[in-house]
A and B are shown apart, each in its own frame.
Chain A
Amino acid sequence: MSGMNNGLNPDDPTVVAAFRAALLHQGVIAMLIFAVLSVAWVSVRAQPDGARTGSPNGPSHPLARIRAGLWAYGEPAGRQVLRIGFGLLWLADAVLLAQPGMAAGLPSQIIAPSAVTSPAWVQHVAVWAGDAWSYHPVEVGSAALWIEAGIGLWLLAAPRGTSSRLAGLASLTWGLVVWVFGESFGQIFAPGLSWLSGAPGAGLLYAVAGALLVLPDRAWRTPRLGRAVLGGLGVFLIGMAVLQAWPGRGFWQGTSAGQPGTLAGLVQSLAGTPQPQALSSLLSGFGSVVRAHGFAVNLIVVAALAAIGLAFLAARRRVTGPAVAAFAVLCLLAWVLTEDLGFLGGLRADPGSMIPMALLAAGGYLALTRVPAVETEPAPAAVAPAPAPEEPAGGPGQRWRERLGPAAVRRSLTAATFGTMASLGAVGVILLGAVPMAAAQATPAASVILAQSMNGAPNAMDAPAPGFTLTDQHGRPVSLSGMRGKVVLLTFLDPVCVTDCPLIAQEFREAGRLLGADSRRVELVAVNLNPIYSQPDYIQAFDHAEGLDTVPNWYFLTSDQARLRQVWRAYGVASQVLQAGAMLGHSDVAFVVDQRGHLVQELNFDPGPGTPVTKSSFAAQLADAATQTLRSP
């Protein structure tokens, strides 16, 4: 899909190493967050009784406090299933995001395939998302991991109250982000929509679960919510049954004109992906069954979806109980046979939609039971019946200072449960991902790691730059020595080149823009590499085509063949006229010349696929090199 190629191999060693380093670094910070919070909590609570304001009735053993904080409160069973289930799922997703190929591969391996059959507007959204990821693959890749890990931990740690509902809100929000940008709306706008292939998308199910967890406690104490959840699922499953049975979509045929039918094709493609042999054999076997008995298999699927959907709509425990059990079995079968466990068969960021859907059904079923209202919610493990502070004399400012002061913090820590502290840590983990991601997105240029991964790091040099005097695009003589006092970014271009040179020129132009005010102290210089097309009108045509004719510090220099060859030799640049209509063969290289006229860096400047992302990365690399040189003593 156009626009989704960031030019990187998912297993690119440079990006993989940087991703690992970032995860390690941020992992240490995450552990520090928890360590600091734990030490603070334990130390405050370890103070003599007189110094703290804990409840005399609270459990005294730390483990008992932890248990009391997480489970002592009578959380409705349906809510508990969703909270813990989706908490664990978010953590599993975070583990999947830690795969080495994720940073470079997610746009091309996950986002693009999900959008390829969707309408153009969905593809635009996917391309935007892929670009946003590709511009900063390491930062965004690690951020996504920590955000999902944080949400998972938060859900697990916060069983009740505002914190728990906020965790649900985080799940709702991030689930929608994943569904829209990562899963292309769960492919619901693509022609092959089917429950078996994962409709409506795992992200939407995470979001629905998050929305349910946002609901106030009282909503979970009557069967109405359970009926609504099962009713919604029932309507969805009946709809999926109708889609599955819809003529002309290829699900009824095991084979069609010698080709596998829709379902057989799906299974066959899954079986062909790298995975354990046992699973591959199982999928191949199932694929054979579908090819041979496509009609019967689809009939079973349609009937099962319709029957379970109708049973869910009935919302009576004696009917829905067996239906939920049957649905769990059906989900399990589909998870193995048509989703390949969600995470096998290539790079995957979640375990698929079947487990979340089964969890939703289980949560809805459990919510059918009326839960008696808790008279008074058990207070946090150590309730802090601190006396209401008196209005300080200093007015509101003084009041805020007191609220944020050490005494207030100590009081809060003393009153906090283990769950509260763990939630706080989880929020810290989310911020650990979200803040660098926001900072990266605020940067206009792509990360230089893309350029480095393609061409390696710049070579440091320290030698006088060979001098030259050539003619610029306006016919004026220009010498390198005349640029002394400025940093010179120097390259060699063919004005009639059809691939690399226009890209390099665009990268130079963009580097000038990125330099901002510093560009006044930087000259962008190219020397003509083509011995045949060396007249100034070719230089001008090239500049005009690449939008460089209005860049004040751009010099595209040319001369007669002999003088050009001298410069090429001095800089070790090759230029070869090839036969049979081929472009000039030449090196793609850039040099950084410092203010003293010394070569300080050589950059291999092969521009790769020339996507917006790679061009931005190369431009950033150039701009960085110029800035470093300007700042160096």
Chain B
Amino acid sequence: MTRARAVKTRVAAGLALVVLTAGCGSSTERPPATPPPRPAPLSLATSLTSAGTVWATIPMGAPSGPNQFWQLFALTSPGGRWSLRTPGGVATNGALVLAGPGKQTLTAGIRPSLDLGFSPVTTTRDGGGSWSSLPPDPGFANVPDALAAASDGRLIALGSHQAVQAAGSQRAGWTTLITAKALAQTPAGRRCALAGLTAVAYTPAGSPLLAGTCGRPGTVGIFAQQGGTWRLAGPALPAALGGQPVRVIRLSRAGGRDVALLQAGTGASASLLAAWTGDGLTWSPSPAFPLSGARVVSASFGADGAAAVVLSGGRGVTVDGPGAAWRRLPPLPPGQAVVLALPDRGATDLLAAAGSMLTAWRLTGPPARWTKTQNVKVPIQYGSSSGS
């Protein structure tokens, strides 16, 4: 090889190497194929009304991380003042899931967070004045309806590994009722093509109800246990929504019945529905509310089965119960986190958190408008969960 040729070869090899390196290291490389978008998770901020007491849980402090602490507030009389009732002795960084079986009674589960690998469970019978612990759960799922209580004190929980746990009224501990995988293999699960569980509840009679997402379009994934057999027991959707995928986003006790919030369809054509049942088998669905591209952020329930939903874009809607139509709320006051509450028939409160400050608003009018009623300064212990 001549010297000139050798030089050319070296230059060519060097350039090839550099082009290759630049291709690898360049920031203009093609992005990898992205998986299809998953629905945004529903916030665990919620409120429930149980025998005259309204309970609301909302994240406060930092927007996320170890300085975000979930708080519990209670309103013991309509028109009264909200007070801080967060259970003590345990860090609430992982969020609270609530189950309210009766007057002044609430059971709260604390989701795992940071180095805590399981879920403490605590209960109050005096409106949050004092708390006593119940057996810990292996770890609640990241959904607002991961815990439910029957009137007789039994508990049912959805675990982070898609196992449904049950605890008897003697509170001796949790046993696995069924897993999503096992449920998917039952005839009902196969009919639904169950993709995953999203909520647990009890019927007023004390039978467990499970909710999930069906892979089969038009099928509502609500399962009721009858005679030891799981049955697909969700409401039938209007014919117009028959071919749409349906997601059960909430399933909860509200007064003397259970209420389910459903999202039918995806994207701009998605609709929101509520459905009520007294026995877990027969349902009364609401009209469909077109979401018009909005996302459901959080949802709350009143004692009489009313539902209130916070939508993205600072909007909100409520529905009073079976036979009622959806009602738009005035634009919601801003907040780092916002949750609606339904203390009484026709009354709507809103709690907005910003750092350590909670602001309570009440819907007044006509014309309907939000009126500030209360500020609550919460003594958040910043840094207490950050280690040393």
* Chain A partners chain B: yes
**CA A607 – CA B114 in complex, angstroms?**
15
Which A574-610 residues have a C-beta within 8 angstroms of B? 577-585, 588, 606-610
List, in ascending order, chain A residues with CB within 8 A of B184's CB.
none
Partner of A238, one of B15, B25, B27, B60: B15
Determine if B379 and A579 form an interchain contact, defined as CB atoms under 8 angstroms apart: yes
Q: Does A307 contact B (CB under 8 A)?
A: no
Whether the pair A191, B7 counts as a contact (CB closer than 8 A) is: no
Contact: A580 with B89, CB < 8 Å? no
Q: Of A241-249, A325-333, A426-434, which binds chain B?
A: A241-249
Other A-B contacts than A579-B379, A582-B91, A609-B388, 14 sampled, CB-CB below 8 A, are A231-B7, A246-B26, A498-B91, A498-B93, A498-B114, A498-B115, A499-B66, A503-B387, A531-B89, A545-B117, A579-B86, A583-B384, A607-B388, A610-B115
Residues of B within 8 A of A610 (CB): 115, 387
**A: contact size bracket:** 35 or more
Given contact pairs A234-B10, A580-B379, A188 touches B384 in the complex (Cβ within 8 A): no
Which of the segments B39-47, B129-137, B188-196, B339-347 contacts the partner chain?
A: B129-137
Q: CB-nearest residue of chain B relative to A117?
A: B25
Stretch at the interface among A58-66, A358-366, A534-542: A534-542
In the complex, which of the residues B7, B21, B122 contacts A313, with contact meaning CB atoms closer than 8 Å? B7
Indicate if A32 sits at the interface (CB-CB under 8 A): no
Chain A contacts of B135 at CB under 8 A? 535, 537
User: Does residue B64 face the partner (Cβ distance < 8 Å to A)?
Assistant: no
Contacting B14 at CB < 8 Å: which of A236, A544, A580, A606? A236
Interface residues of B in 334-388 (CB under 8 A from A): 378-381, 384-388
Question: Is there an interface contact between A608 and B388, defined as CB atoms closer than 8 Å?
Answer: yes
Q: List 5 A-B contacts (CB under 8 A).
A: A238-B11, A239-B21, A243-B22, A537-B173, A580-B86
Give chain B residues whose Cβ lies under 8 Å from the Cβ of A538: 120, 133, 136
Contacting residues of chain B (51-89) with chain A, CB-CB under 8 angstroms: 60, 66, 69-71, 84, 86, 88-89
0/1 string, A241-285, CB within 8 A of B gives 1: 011001011000000000000000000000000000000000000
Chain B residues closer than 8 Å to A607, beta-carbon distance: 387-388
Name the B residues within 8 Å of A313 (CB-CB).
7, 10-11
User: Which residues from chain B contact A235 at a C-beta distance below 8 Å?
Assistant: 10-11, 13-14
Closest to A534 in B: B133
Q: Are B89 and A532 in contact (CB under 8 A)?
A: yes
When C-beta atoms are compared, the residue in chain A nearest to B174 turns out to be: A537
Of all chain A residues, the one with the shortest Cβ separation from B22 is A246
A interface footprint on B177-188 (CB within 8 Å = 1, 0 otherwise): 000000000000
* B388/A500 in contact, CB under 8 A: yes
Chain A residues within an 8 Å CB radius of B25: 189-193
Report if A473 contacts B (CB, 8 A). no
Q: Closest chain A residue to B114 by CB distance?
A: A498
Does any Cβ of B come within 8 Å of A514's Cβ?
Answer: no
Residues of B near any A CB (own CB < 8 A) = 7, 10-11, 13-15, 17-19, 21-22, 24-28, 60, 66, 69-71, 84, 86, 88-94, 110, 113-118, 120, 122, 131-133, 135-136, 138, 173, 378-381, 384-388
Task: Using CB atoms, name the residue of chain B closest to A193.
Answer: B25
Distance A146 CA – B117 CA, assembled complex (angstroms)? 45
Is A503 a contact partner of B10 (Cβ separation < 8 A)? no
A239 with B18: CB separation less than 8 A? yes
* A582–B388 touching, CB < 8 Å: no
CA distance A578 to B92 in the complex (A): 12
Minimal Cβ-Cβ distance residue in A for B7:
A313
State how many angstroms separate the Cβ of B382 from the closest Cβ of chain A.
9
A303 within 8 A of B: no
- Which of A498, A535, A544 has a CB less than 8 Å from the CB of B116? A498
The 8 closest A-B pairs by CB, nearest first: A581-B92, A235-B14, A582-B381, A532-B89, A545-B117, A239-B18, A581-B69, A583-B91
Q: A234-B10, A496-B116, A498-B91 are in contact. Are A535 and B133 (CB under 8 A)?
A: yes
Asked if A583 and B385 sit within 8 Å, CB to CB, the answer is yes
Q: Which of A243, A496, A500, A537 has most B Cβ within 10 Å? A: A496
Name the distance in Å between B41's Cβ and chain A's nearest Cβ: 21
A502 at the interface (CB under 8 A from B): yes
- The reply to whether B90 and A580 form a contact with Cβ atoms under 8 Å apart is no
Q: Which residue of chain A is the closest to B132 with respect to CB atoms?
A: A532
Q: With A and B bound together, what is the CA distance between A315 and B66 in angstroms?
A: 62
Bound form: Cα–Cα A585–B381 in Å:
10
A497 at the interface (CB under 8 A from B): yes
User: Cβ of A533 < 8 Å from any Cβ of B?
Assistant: yes
A314 in the interface, Cβ–Cβ < 8 Å? yes
* CB neighbours of A231 from chain B (8 A): 7, 10
- Out of B15, B22, B90, B132, name the residue touching A583 (CB < 8 Å): B90
Contact A242 B118 (CB under 8 A): no
Q: Decide yes or no: A579 and B381 within 8 Å by CB, A498-B114, A532-B133 being known contacts.
A: yes
Q: Does A530 contact B (CB under 8 A)?
A: yes
Within the assembled complex, what's the spacing in Å between the Cα atoms of A116 and B122? 43
Among residues of B, the one whose C-beta sits closest to the C-beta of A535 is B133
Residue of A189, A240, A496, A500 near B120 (CB, 8 A) is A496
Known contacts: A189-B25, A582-B381, A582-B384. The answer to whether A314 contacts B7 by CB under 8 A is yes
* Contact partners of A609 in chain B: CB under 8 A: 387-388
Chain A nearest CB: distance from B96 CB in Å? 8
**Chain B minimum-CB-distance residue to A118:** B25
Closest B residue to A606 by CB, please name it.
Answer: B388
Once A499-B114, A499-B115, A578-B88 are accepted as A-B contacts, the answer to whether A585 and B21 lie under 8 Å apart by CB is: no
B387 with A608: CB separation less than 8 A: yes
The 0/1 profile, CB within 8 Å of B marked 1, for residues 561-581 of chain A is: 000000000000000011111
Q: Which residues of B contact A189 (CB under 8 A)?
A: 24-25
Knowing A235-B13, A498-B113, A607-B388 touch, does A580 contact B173 (C-beta < 8 A)? Answer: no
Distance between B198 CB and nearest chain A CB, rounded to angstroms: 25
Q: Closest residue of chain A to B10, judged by CB?
A: A235
Q: Can you name the residue of chain B whose Cβ is closest to the Cβ of A231?
A: B10
User: Quick check: A584 and B378 within 8 Å, CB to CB?
Assistant: no
Minimum distance in angstroms from B14 CB to a CB of chain A = 3
A588: chain B residues within 8 A (beta carbon): 388
**What's the nearest-Cβ distance from chain B to residue A616, in Å?**
17
CB atoms of B90 and A499 under 8 A apart: no
In the assembled complex, the Cα of A243 lies from the Cα of B25 at a distance in Å of 10
Contact with B along A177-210 (1 / 0, CB 8 A): 0000000000011111100000000000000000
Q: Are B18 and A242 within 8 A (Cβ)?
A: yes
Which A residues lie within 8 Å of B71 (CB)?
Answer: 580-581
Knowing A545-B117, A583-B91, the reply to whether A532 touches B131 (Cβ < 8 A) is yes
A266 to chain B, nearest CB (A): 15
Q: B378 contacts A580, CB within 8 Å? A: yes
> Per-residue 0/1 for A603-624: is the Cβ within 8 Å of any B Cβ (1 yes, 0 no)?
0001111100000000000000
- Distance between Cα atoms of A313 and B8 in the complex (Å): 9
CB-CB under 8 A from A500, the residues of chain B are 387-388
Closest residue on chain B to residue A579 by CB atoms: B379
Contact across chains for B386 and A580 when beta carbons are under 8 A apart? no
Given A239-B14, A248-B28, A582-B384, answer yes or no on A533-B88 (Cβ-Cβ < 8 Å).
no
Query: Contacts of A534 on B, CB cut-off 8 Å?
Result: 133
Interchain CB contact under 8 A, B21 and A193: yes
Output the nearest chain B residue to A497 by Cβ-Cβ distance.
B116
- Complex Cα–Cα for A243 and B91 (A): 52
Q: How distant is the Cα of A236 from the Cα of B379 in the complex, in angstroms? A: 61
Cα A193 to Cα B88 with chains together (Å): 53
